[in-house]
Amino acid sequence: MAEEAILGYLEHNEQIADSGVFAAERQLDHNDVVNVIKSLHGFRYVDAQNIKRETWVLTDEGRKYAAEGSPEFQLFMAVPQEGSISKDELQKKLDPAVFKIGCSQAGKNRWVEMGKQVSRKVQNVEDKVRVLLLHVQEGHEIKQEDINSLKARKLIVLQTWKGYSVTKGPNYAPQRKKVATDLTRENLQRGDWKELEFKEYNFNAKGQPAEGGHLHPLLKVRKQLKDIFLQLGFEEMPTNNYVESSFWNFDALFQPQQHPARDSHDTFFLQEPSTTRELPEDYVERVKRVHEVGGYGSRGYGYDWKREEANKNLLRTHTTAVSSRMLKALAEKPFAPKRYFSIDRVFRNEAVDRTHLAEFHQIEGLICDRGLTLGDLIGVLKDFFTRLGMSQLRFKPAYNPYTEPSMEIFSYHEGLGKWVEIGNSGMFRPEMLLPMGFPEDVRVVAWGLSLERPTMILYGFNNIRDLFGHKVDLGLIKENPICRLGLE
Ligand code: PHE
């Protein structure tokens, strides 16, 4: 309908000056007319120029009064011609909003006498408000003072009206030719492809949104952390084994076999295969000795070290298990300093709550060199965390079975206005390093933190289950922004 009207009109006329007027004159919906113009313009049947106009339109309330009469008029009509009506009685006859507004407006207009009893002061009134509203609705001009009063009563608002002026385009024809958008199998079979006219490509059309893959926030933060470690000259450790033996996860780290963390309440042990197949025997012997009687200046723990305990397979409880394997391998070669890091998953048999899961990710860094001191550890931590955007650090003495001294790391959180714990660190003990075979003056400084903590802070999660696990909203993964650490 609209298409025929537009093309037909242009056959005998220079232009459609205003699509709004054009639509109104033909009683067409202006939206339909606009859509047809856009489509005809796409095929260059017509040229179209934007036109914009500010017009007054009725609000919902305005539309209601245009249909039912203004509240003051409704109120006036509810008052009897002769005598009076009690205010309560009158209220019952009207909608509460209409009653309230009607009372004040009809009072102002001196249409009614308001008291306990309400009576008419005049016999006839004209509902001017309604007349004005109908004018606006039909697109007629009204006086500025009337506009002001309707606007003040929020019965009309200014709206930007958008339309087009239209002239013939380079491909103008009084009727649109059907063009093919696709070459089908049927076209080929029937042979009618030879006669078909194909639609041109519209290179300006917006394409389909590309449904690519999306990185999970944890992966984005991990990538940033990895870049920081690489910039600082660290090499990544191979952490692609979730299953570990108790030996590498605990014993090699000088963690005694009675340590509570080695209980099944804290650690997931494997049923199948329940034990490791092989361990480096001579090293196992040295580890057993250092646990039982010490050596290298240590008294050891003085208990009966059991091989069966060390053999038990588990889901690694920290990535430090991998660090211990890597350090042992390093100690076997002629000594060269190293910087290692890893970011991977660990498992703990813990009750799940809003900040804990039974699996999470650890970030771990270590530096191995001759003569390192606690000052070196503090220095590298400052360097590392500053790059994450945390430059205010504090350290608190702590305890780990495998480090001495050990320090918890705190950072001042601007948002929370307090110091929050962000990691754990220390210097690996001689009881761990010397049985591996390192020269005596070799020290290892190391630290660890969770990947989830900074990710939750950066992305504003307060429940870890929204970040990781089966309840994660995929839409959120598609929409979350890239991660830029250290940039405020
Ligand atoms: N493994 C420690 C943890 O699980 C982190 C850590 C790593 C502490 C290295 C000291 C040195 O919390």
Q: Which residue has the higher pLDDT, 177 or 117?
A: 117
pLDDT tens for 304-314 read: 999 999 999 99
For the CA of 362, the nearest atom of ligand 1: 4
Query: Does the beta carbon of 400 lie inside 6 Å of ligand 1?
Result: yes
CA angle 478, 468, 351 (to 5 degrees): 165
User: What pLDDT, on a 0 to 100 scale, did the predictor assign at position 179?
Assistant: 81
What are the distances in angstroms from CA 201 to CA 43, 183, 198, 206, 207?
10, 13, 9, 12, 12
For the CA of 320, the nearest atom of ligand 1: 1
For the CA of 428, the nearest atom of ligand 1: 11
Query: Does the beta carbon of 448 lie inside 6 Å of ligand 1?
Result: yes
pLDDT over 80 at 484, yes or no: no
- How remote is the CA of residue 337 from the centroid of ligand 1, in Å? 20
Query: Does the beta carbon of 246 lie inside 6 Å of ligand 1?
Result: no
In DSSP terms, 310 is beta-bridged to none
pLDDT tens for 35-49 read: 999 999 988 999 999
Contacts of 264 (CB under 8 A, 6+ apart): 349
User: What pLDDT, on a 0 to 100 scale, did the predictor assign at position 129?
Assistant: 94
| 12 band by pLDDT with thresholds 50, 70 and 90 | very high
Query: Does the beta carbon of 317 lie inside 6 Å of ligand 1?
Result: no
| 488 band by pLDDT with thresholds 50, 70 and 90 | very low
Q: What is the pTM of this model?
A: 0.61
pLDDT tens for 444-459 read: 999 999 999 888 877 8
Backbone angles phi, psi at 244, to 5 degrees: -140, 160
Question: Which residue has the least CA distance to atom 4 on ligand 1?
Answer: 318
How does 186-213 read in b/e, with b if 16+ C-beta sit within 10 Å?
Answer: eeeeeeeeeeeeeeeeeeeeeeeeeeee
CB 40 within 8 A of CB 46: yes
pLDDT tens for 276-311 read: 999 999 999 999 999 999 999 999 999 999 999 999
Q: Give, as one character, the DSSP assignment of residue 172.
A: -
CB 426 within 8 A of CB 407: yes
Query: Does the beta carbon of 255 lie inside 6 Å of ligand 1?
Result: no
Pairing of strands 338-347, 235-236: parallel
Q: Give, as one character, the DSSP assignment of residue 275.
A: B
Among 225, 311, 223, residue whose Cα is nearest residue 262: 311
Backbone angles phi, psi at 294, to 5 degrees: 90, -140
Residue with tokens 């761990």: 432
CB 97 within 8 A of CB 74: no
User: What pLDDT, on a 0 to 100 scale, did the predictor assign at position 417?
Assistant: 83
- How remote is the CA of residue 321 from the centroid of ligand 1, in Å? 10
Pairing of strands 85-86, 235-236: unpaired
* Mean pLDDT across 431-437: 97
pLDDT over 60 at 487, yes or no: no
Q: In this structure, what token pair is assigned to residue 445?
A: 């400084």
User: What pLDDT, on a 0 to 100 scale, did the predictor assign at position 474?
Assistant: 85
Q: Which residue has the higher pLDDT, 132 or 488?
A: 132
- How remote is the CA of residue 355 from the centroid of ligand 1, in Å? 19
pLDDT tens for 54-94 read: 889 999 999 999 999 999 999 999 999 988 999 999 999 99
pLDDT tens for 199-216 read: 888 888 888 888 788 899
* Mean pLDDT across 15-22: 93
Q: Give, as one character, the DSSP assignment of residue 318.
A: -
pLDDT over 60 at 242, yes or no: yes
Q: Which of 266, 320, 340, 449 to mutate to test the pocket of ligand 1 (most atoms within 8 A of CB)?
A: 320
CB 53 within 8 A of CB 22: no
Query: Does the beta carbon of 364 lie inside 6 Å of ligand 1?
Result: yes
CB 157 within 8 A of CB 59: yes
Q: How far apart are CA 313 and CA 241, in angstroms?
A: 12
Q: How far apart are CA 381 and CA 224, in angstroms?
A: 16
Q: Which of 364, 377, 378, 433 to mutate to test the pocket of ligand 1 (most atoms within 8 A of CB)?
A: 364
User: What pLDDT, on a 0 to 100 scale, did the predictor assign at position 254?
Assistant: 97
Query: Does the beta carbon of 424 lie inside 6 Å of ligand 1?
Result: yes
Three-class secondary structure of residue 361 per DSSP: strand
- How remote is the CA of residue 448 from the centroid of ligand 1, in Å? 5
In DSSP terms, 47 is beta-bridged to 167
Q: How far apart are CA 339 and CA 321, in angstroms?
A: 16
DSSP calls for 444-475? EEEEEEESHHHHHHHHT-S-GGGTSSTT--HH
* Mean pLDDT across 357-378: 96
pLDDT over 80 at 438, yes or no: yes
How long is the chain?
Answer: 488
